[in-house]
């Protein structure tokens, strides 16, 4: 038996959650939504005020109504992207319903009605999708729909690459940061860092470019979680800011009245790859490469057995994608020759030669630099901090007590010769206490 205090607290929590769910439908950001508007007229062209216009989501069953104004106009905004039916009804006129009205990201759809006199029980149903002419704004862009996102092949399952389907968009210049692999793109000649990424209307831009992964966005949902996205390259609305580049506005799927889900596994394996040029030239086997991309998504109405059924009211959507990669990368590097190793690298400072005059302190050096006092010294010379002069072979450093040797003073170097630019580490990697 629950105590009255516990019951009261549970009731308060339930009321709070219910209020949050009710408000959630009206608090989503408006930049990833659209709008439906139009005018209601009679057959003679006269406007009809006070007509009840109802907007119904064909996937979830959610409906909202409004009345036409004094000029016969009505508007629903903001409207979440999806498929809708719009109906108009008024006493003394036939009811009219327009099905299959599709709303895309940032799209203003116009659906006008002409109501003929007749009985209210008579309903005219139009199932064909209405022609959509964009007359509400002058933005230049393209909507990449769910079918395109799912059907086209994508390297790494990165939907950002599909932005290149739009006019004026090209792949971003590849560099050592690997921007080409992130889907980074340039629109109308602007830099990739000037683009603006939005996800469900929320800012999805990194504050600083991710130099490790070469990305300009924070979150990249799986392809199966994308409902659609719109790429706008020019003349977009003043509600967008931040930069002068393109706007990539993506929207995540949401649950419907029916349960839907997907499972996927994509495998890349070196057994199906060709060896690269350097591997073939060196006669070495292909490096190991194993990449697995796996995950799933599921959405539908919220159902709590024997307690709650969210059909037409509450929905959920969940997705997950994991990537596991094992890759051996061949490297090409330069190694010293046997002659360089036997010389102790004593003459490497001469590679920094900038011309005459010949250094008088070291007849073996070919070029000189001037120190702060205008004294001539070999390039790359190591200096004694106590005397500001060169460190000589065979002479103990008055500060560290160490004597230059090894690669700094190759075997056979006369005592008193300025030491090379390489100094041996402290013995045992322990710095003396008097250092």
DSSP-derived pairing of the beta strands 205-210 and 215-217: antiparallel
Per-residue pLDDT, averaged over 225-241, amounts to: 84
pLDDT band of residue 244 (cuts 50, 70, 90) is confident
How confident is the model at residue 37, as a pLDDT? 92
Beta bridge partners of 34: 79
Tell whether 387 and 289 lie within a shared domain: no
Beta bridge partners of 369: 377
How confident is the model at residue 310, as a pLDDT? 86
Going from the C-alpha of 416 to that of each of 126, 391, 395, 413, 424, the distances in angstroms are 101, 9, 7, 9, 18
Q: State yes or no: pLDDT of 201 exceeds 80.
A: yes
Enclosing H/E stretch for 13: helix 4-24
Q: Could you tell me if residue 395 is inside a domain?
A: yes
User: With DSSP H G I counted as helix, E B as strand and the rest as coil, what are the percentages for the chain, rounded to 5?
Assistant: 15, 35, 50
Q: Which of 271, 297, 327 is the last residue of a domain?
A: 327
DSSP string, 161-197: GGGGGSTTEEEPPP-TT-GGGGT-EEETT--GGG-EE
Q: Which of 327, 359, 381 is the last residue of a domain?
A: 327
* Count of residues in the chain: 435
Q: State yes or no: pLDDT of 43 exceeds 60.
A: yes
Tell whether 214 and 109 lie within a shared domain: no
Tell whether 372 and 418 lie within a shared domain: yes
Per-residue pLDDT, averaged over 387-413, amounts to: 61
Percent with pLDDT over 70 in the chain: 64
Tell whether 42 and 155 lie within a shared domain: no
Q: Could you tell me if residue 133 is inside a domain?
A: no
Tell whether 104 and 159 lie within a shared domain: no
Q: What is the pLDDT of residues 363-398, one digit of tens each?
A: 554 455 666 676 666 665 666 666 666 666 666 666
Mean pLDDT of the chain: 77
d(CA 188, CA 211): 24
Tell whether 360 and 404 lie within a shared domain: yes
Q: What is the pLDDT of residues 270-300, one digit of tens each?
A: 888 888 887 788 788 887 889 999 999 999 9
Tell whether 195 and 321 lie within a shared domain: yes
Closest to 58 measured CA to CA, from 312, 316, 259: 312
CB atoms within 10 A of CB 222: 20
How confident is the model at residue 209, as a pLDDT? 65
Tell whether 297 and 214 lie within a shared domain: yes
At a CB cut-off of 8 Å and minimum separation 6, what does 282 contact? none
Q: Could you tell me if residue 339 is inside a domain?
A: no
Per-residue pLDDT, averaged over 23-42, amounts to: 73
Q: State yes or no: pLDDT of 122 exceeds 70.
A: no
Enclosing H/E stretch for 147: helix 146-151
Tell whether 170 and 306 lie within a shared domain: yes
d(CA 78, CA 392): 80
d(CA 199, CA 69): 34
Q: Could you tell me if residue 285 is inside a domain?
A: yes
How confident is the model at residue 355, as a pLDDT? 40
d(CA 414, CA 132): 90
pLDDT band of residue 48 (cuts 50, 70, 90) is very high
Q: Could you tell me if residue 337 is inside a domain?
A: no
E-only strand ranges, 200-353: 202-203, 205-210, 215-217, 226-234, 247-252, 260-269, 289-301, 303-304, 308-309, 315-327
pLDDT band of residue 52 (cuts 50, 70, 90) is very high
Tell whether 289 and 392 lie within a shared domain: no
* Least confident interval from 20-24, 85-89, 162-166: 20-24
Q: State yes or no: pLDDT of 191 exceeds 60.
A: yes
Tell me how many domains the chain contains. 3
d(CA 379, CA 366): 9
Q: Structural domain of residue 423, as residue ranges?
A: 348-435
Q: What is the pLDDT of residues 138-156, one digit of tens each?
A: 667 788 888 888 888 887 8
């Amino acid at each position: 038996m629950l105590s009255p205090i516990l019951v009261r607290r549970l009731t308060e929590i339930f009321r709070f959650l219910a209020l949050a769910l009710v408000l959630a439908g009206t608090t989503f950001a408006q930049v990833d939504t659209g709008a439906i508007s139009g005018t209601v007229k009679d057959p003679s062209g006269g406007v009809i005020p006070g007509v009840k216009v109802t907007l119904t989501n064909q996937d979830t069953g959610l409906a909202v109504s409004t009345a036409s104004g004094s000029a016969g106009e009505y508007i629903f905004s903001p409207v979440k992207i999806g498929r809708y039916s719009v109906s108009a009804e008024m006493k003394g006129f036939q009811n009219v319903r327009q099905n299959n009205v599709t709303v895309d990201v940032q799209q203003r759809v116009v659906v006008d009605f002409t109501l003929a006199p007749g009985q209210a029980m008579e309903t005219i149903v139009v199932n064909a999708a209405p022609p959509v002419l964009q007359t509400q704004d002058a933005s230049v862009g393209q909507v990449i729909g769910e079918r395109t996102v799912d059907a086209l092949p994508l390297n790494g399952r990165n939907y950002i690459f599909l932005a290149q389907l739009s006019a004026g968009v090209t792949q971003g210049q590849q560099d050592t940061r690997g921007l080409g692999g992130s889907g980074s793109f340039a629109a109308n000649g602007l830099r990739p860092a000037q683009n603006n990424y939005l996800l469900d209307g929320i800012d999805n831009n990194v504050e600083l470019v991710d130099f490790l992964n070469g990305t300009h966005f924070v979150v990249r949902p799986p392809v199966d979680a994308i409902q659609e996205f719109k790429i706008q390259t020019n003349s977009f609305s003043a509600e967008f800011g931040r930069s002068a580049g393109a706007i990539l506005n993506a929207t995540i799927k949401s649950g419907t009245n029916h349960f839907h889900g997907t499972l996927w596994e994509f495998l890349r394996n070196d057994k199906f790859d060709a060896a690269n040029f350097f591997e073939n030239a060196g006669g070495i086997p292909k490096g190991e490469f194993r990449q697995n991309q796996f995950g799933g998504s599921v959405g539908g109405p919220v159902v709590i057995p024997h307690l709650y059924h969210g059909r037409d009211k509450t929905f959920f959507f969940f997705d997950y994608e994991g990537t596991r990669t094992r890759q051996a990368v061949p490297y090409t590097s330069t190694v010293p020759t046997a002659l360089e190793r036997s010389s102790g690298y004593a003459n490497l400072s001469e590679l920094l030669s900038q011309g005459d005059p010949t250094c008088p302190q070291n007849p073996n050096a070919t070029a000189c630099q001037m120190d702060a006092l205008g004294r001539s010294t070999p390039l790359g010379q190591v200096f004694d901090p106590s005397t500001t002069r060169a460190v000589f072979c065979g002479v103990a450093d008055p500060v560290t007590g160490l004597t230059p040797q090894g690669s700094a003073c190759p075997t056979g170097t006369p005592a008193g010769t300025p030491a090379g630019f390489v100094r041996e580490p402290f013995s045992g990697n322990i710095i003396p206490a008097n250092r």
